[in-house]
Chain A
């Protein structure tokens, strides 16, 4: 028995996991959120099942409100002083206009040999309810709106998750590799 344990420990020695964007969110009570942030949510949304989170990554901290509205998952991000940073609305990739869908696939195809889109969000830096309404009616992404995609992408050397910001023309604005979730507990 001891020898088995010893072999197992010898097999796995030092570690070295490359880390990129590490984002951690913690559920917080509404009363610890700046008043102007709470006021913005009350003013613009009915916000069913509203939950507040404090989000932190390597170089940024923010408050985030998550709720359901228009039968969509919506998250609204505020700076630590309660100033609006962005509004994100989760949509289905196939909801996009065919032309934009093709252009985005082309953009991703240039970066990755194979990819799968896991999550698509409309990303508004300034919130105009009429823009969102327009998207729901016509599936047209407004000009000053972005798309935030979470994808699983395969390059020549590795497979990773990426967060990619795409503009309304389907061009890549920024891309960040996400820290891989440890899935060992689901595999064995």
Chain B
């Protein structure tokens, strides 16, 4: 970079031209820095943790019942008027979902979720899953929709698509007592009264498969929303998931 903007007197360039080019470059750098600074100062930033427990029971005729409990805690929040630090409990989600295998490796699910926070929010959930096996990894697609209803708050409708890549860290399948990586990308379209918004999520995690096939995962969940209705919000969560199949 430095070379590109170096004055080269051997090529008979005038000092005026060199200084003009350098000035333009410095102005450009200043403009970019100010723009980035402006963006960062406008962003709302939150950091927290999402410990979750998912318990599932297989039933007859390809049915499955799943329950998921997830807590949300923040340890950093400057999304409001003042910056908050220290551990702050936000809410607990409790979801109950019934699923049925359709086709050979697809699953259709529907259920509801309660969010216990300052008020109780109710959410209905519908989703369709596909898991595709490859030689040494798996790809999963999830198409979902949910509707959230809470007192004194406009109803919210979300349409979601998630793509997940999963690879064992040893061998071609996840055996007991082995680690694996899982990376998920999700995009959400949110409708709320007259407003629309987009949210993107990226979730890289490392998991461990116990002898019982129960799994534990630790990773990061990055979420950004407010893309269509600025200012945007950045959220970083440390995720800890535990999956139990009984």
Contacts and interface: CB of A to CB of B under 8 A. Distances in A.
Interface of A: 1, 4-5, 8-9, 11-15, 17, 24-27, 53, 66, 73, 90, 114-116, 118-119, 152, 154, 158-159, 181-188
A61 B38 CA distance: 63
Overall SS of chain B's interface = strand
A8 B96 CA distance: 8
A188 B65 contact: no
Given A4-B92, A4-B94, A184-B56, A159 B104 contact: yes
B94 A8 contact: yes
B245 interface: yes
Contacts of A115: 104
A152 B132 CA distance: 11
Nearest to A116: B104
Interface in B208-246: 213, 215, 217, 241, 243, 245-246
24 contacts: A1-B116, A8-B69, A12-B55, A12-B65, A12-B67, A13-B246, A15-B57, A17-B245, A25-B171, A25-B172, A25-B173, A66-B172, A90-B135, A114-B103, A115-B104, A118-B133, A159-B101, A183-B131, A186-B129, A186-B138, A186-B140, A186-B164, A186-B182, A187-B66
Given A1-B92, A12-B57, A185-B217, 6 more contacts: A8-B94, A9-B55, A25-B172, A183-B138, A184-B245, A186-B138
Given A186-B129, A186-B131, A186-B140, A8 B67 contact: yes
Contacts of A17: 58, 245
Given A4-B114, A182-B243, A24 B215 contact: no
Interface string B47-66: 00000001111100010011
A154 B96 CA distance: 27
B104 A114 contact: yes
A188 B62 contact: no
A187 B140 contact: yes
Contacts of B57: 11-12, 15
B42 interface: no
Nearest to A150: B133
Interface string B111-142: 00010100000000000010101010010101
Given A8-B55, A152-B104, A185 B138 contact: no
Contacts of A27: 170-171
Contacts of B148: none
A89 B245 CA distance: 34
Contacts of A11: 55, 57, 65, 67, 96
Contacts of A182: 213, 215, 243, 245
Contacts of B103: 114
Nearest to A157: B61
A164 to B, nearest CB: 15
Contacts of A24: 175-176
B99 interface: yes
Q: Which 3 A-B pairs have the closest CB atoms?
A: A186-B140, A8-B67, A15-B246
| Chain B CB within 10 Å, residue with most, of A13, A17, A187 | A187
A27 to B, nearest CB: 5
B65 A26 contact: no
